[in-house]
Amino acid sequence: MRLFSSLYARTMQWSRHPHAPAYLAGLSFAESSFFPIPPDVMLAPMSMAKPNQAWFFAGLTTLASVFGGMLGYLIGLYAFDLVEPWLHSWGYWEGYLAAKEWFGKWGFWAVFLAGFSPIPYKIFTITAGVIGMAFLPFVVASTIGRGARFFLVAALMSWGGERMERALHRYVDRLGWILVVVFLVLIVYLK
């Protein structure tokens, strides 16, 4: 069943759209404070489709993500009572408690690690506001962590370029179904 190859082709087509950079910036901003989809899903194909603009896309993603992180910080600082029920209902409460523990142990480095890793960064931006982390170290850690992640993604995708695009198109269905099976096995195992 060739479900993933058609999605992949559509994604590559969207990544070449003239407004794709604006959508990437919007997604990056939103993901850092409230939206669940990481910007890598747009950054990677855009960097692969236009390798000569990969550094621009990584910089744009980083900048928008840090500004979104600032919004998350302000949400945590001034409006935590409003978002706390959502953290419970969206399943982020345990992540929030873990983030508070990380801040107690590592402070600045917690934001850096969250910015670089696939951990939901929004949890850390909100938590940084809740605990009143100093704003400038928060921005610096966010910029370094997010920048390292997004520039790495852009570099890997632009390095592969058209060659990687063709190879992924050839194997995307197999890879997609393997990931679905791994995900289902993981769900069954964890339950």
Whose tokens are 């489709």? That residue is: 49
User: Across all residues in the chain, what is the average pLDDT?
Assistant: 85
Residue-wise pLDDT tens digits, 114-132: 888 877 888 889 999 999 9
Indicate the pTM of the whole model.
Answer: 0.78
Q: How far apart are CA 174 and CA 71, in angstroms?
A: 39
Q: By residue range, what is the domain housing residue 83?
A: 3-190
Residue-wise pLDDT tens digits, 122-160: 888 999 999 999 999 999 999 999 999 999 989 988 887
Domain count, the chain: 1
